[in-house]
Amino acid sequence: MGKLSKLFIALSALCFAAPAFAQGGGGSEVNWVAIAAGFSMAFASGICGLAQGKATASAAESLARNPAARPGIQLALILGLALIESLALYTLVIIFVKVK
C-alpha cells in the first residue's frame, strides 16, 4: 500500500473521529445543516474531481492520438475544467448561504 493511500485512510478516520469529540454534554441538538453541508461539499468535490480526471484523461488520449488538434483540445479542456470547478464553487456558495 502506498504512502498516499495510508495518508488518505488516516485522514478519513480523522473525519469520523471529529464528531465524536463534538458530542459532549446532554440534550444538545444535532446541527443537521452543518452535517449536510459537509457531506454535500464532499460529494461535490469528489464528483468534480472525478469529472476533471475524466476530462483530462480524454484530452491526454486525444492529444496523443492527434497532436495536430492541440489548440482545439486545449481550449475545450481549459473551458471544461473551469466550468467543472465552478460546480464545486456553487456548492460552496450554497453552504455559505445556508450555514451562515
Partner 1 sequence: MADPIPAETDPVRAAEAERFYSGAMERVRRLMVALCLLLSAAAWWRFGPRAAGGFVFGCVIAFVNFHWLKRAIGGFADRASGAETRQSGQGIVAQFLLRYVLMALGAYAILTVSPASLNGLLAGLFLPVAAIACEAFYEVYAALARGV
- Contacting residues toward partner 1, per CB under 8 A: 56, 59-60, 63-64, 67, 70-75, 77-79, 81-83, 86, 89, 92-93, 96
All 3 cell numbers of residue 38? 459537509
Pick 14 or 68: Cβ nearer partner 1: 68
C-alpha distances in angstroms, 61 versus 8, 14, 51, 84? 28, 37, 15, 19
* Least gap, CB of 76 to partner 1 (angstroms): 10
Q: Report, in Å, the least distance between residue 48 CB and partner 1.
A: 12
Cβ 64 vs Cβ 3: under 8 Å: no
Minimum CB separation of residue 9 from partner 1 in Å reads 21
Contact 88, 46 (CB under 8 A): no
